[in-house]
């Protein structure tokens, strides 16, 4: 047997053993609504605290998906409207929004994006109308602070407004 054939057989054997090992250590838990449509499914590995969860509407369409660690939302999550459009995407730490989040309307257009800490707006945000930015500025504990810029539908500057101390 030529060396190339031997290497190919060895590679395929390693690949098969790896896939078999992964399959044996992977757990899928599914929950169902009373009408027997899927409510949620969680993919996890034996001995690992982190798992990937998907939740579904009663209709069977995906509602949200993301990482669970120690029973709480962590890392990146995406939620969806029942029509399949994204509703929001961002990061959690122990069920609390943090870092950069983006929110959409049911047509898939952005309505808001910005930084969160402790489930409240803290930091720079863009607010959109009809998918185009119309305001930009900072929030501190969910309150507009500092300089905010107002834009028209074309993105041209209209006004500057100062908020707070």
Question: In sequence order, what DSSP letters do the residues of the chain get, joined into one string?
Answer: --HHHHHHHHHHHHHHHHHHHHHHHEEEEEEE-TTS-EEEEEEEETT-SEEEEEEE-TTS-EEEEEEEETTEEEEEEEEE-TTS-EEEEEEEETTEEEEEEEEE-TTS-EEEEEEEETTEEEEEEEEEETTEEEEEEEEETTEEEEEEEEE-TTS-EEEEEEE--
Strand partners, 57: none
CA 61 to chain centre: 16
Question: Tell me, what's the pLDDT at 2?
Answer: 57
Among 23-27, 71-75, 105-109, 142-146, which stretch is predicted with the lowest mean pLDDT?
Answer: 23-27
The answer on pLDDT for 110 being more than 80 is yes
Question: Tell me, what's the pLDDT at 62?
Answer: 96
The answer on pLDDT for 24 being more than 70 is no
Query: Does 59 or 6 have the greater pLDDT score?
Result: 59
pLDDT band at 130 (very low <50, low <70, confident <90, very high): confident
Give the global pTM. 0.78
pLDDT digits (tens, 9 = 90+) for 38-91: 998 988 877 667 889 999 999 999 999 999 998 899 999 999 999 999 999 999
Q: Do the beta carbons of residue 145 and residue 133 sit within 8 Å?
A: no
Residue 36, by phi and psi: left (phi above 0), alpha (psi -120 to 50) or beta? left
Q: Which fold has domain 3-163?
A: Outer Surface Protein A; domain 3 (3.90.930)
Rounded-to-integer distance, Cα 85 and Cα 87, Å: 6
Question: Tell me, what's the pLDDT at 66?
Answer: 94
- Domains of the chain, by residue range, sit at 3-163
């Amino acid at each position: 047997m030529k060396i190339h054939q031997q290497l190919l057989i060895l590679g395929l054997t390693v690949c098969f053993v790896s896939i078999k090992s992964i399959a044996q250590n992977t757990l899928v838990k599914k929950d169902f609504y009373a009408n027997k449509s899927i409510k949620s499914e969680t993919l996890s590995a034996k001995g690992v605290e982190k798992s990937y969860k998907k939740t579904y509407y009663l209709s069977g369409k995906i509602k949200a998906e993301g990482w669970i660690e120690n029973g709480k939302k962590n890392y990146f999550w995406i939620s969806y409207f029942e029509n399949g459009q994204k509703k929001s995407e961002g990061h959690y730490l122990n069920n609390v929004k943090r870092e950069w989040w983006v929110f959409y309307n049911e047509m898939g257009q952005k309505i808001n994006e910005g930084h969160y800490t402790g489930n409240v707006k803290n930091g720079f945000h863009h607010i959109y109308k009809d998918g185009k930015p119309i305001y930009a500025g900072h929030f501190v504990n969910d309150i507009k602070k500092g300089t905010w810029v107002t834009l028209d539908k074309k993105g041209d500057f209209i006004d500057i407004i100062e908020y707070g101390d």
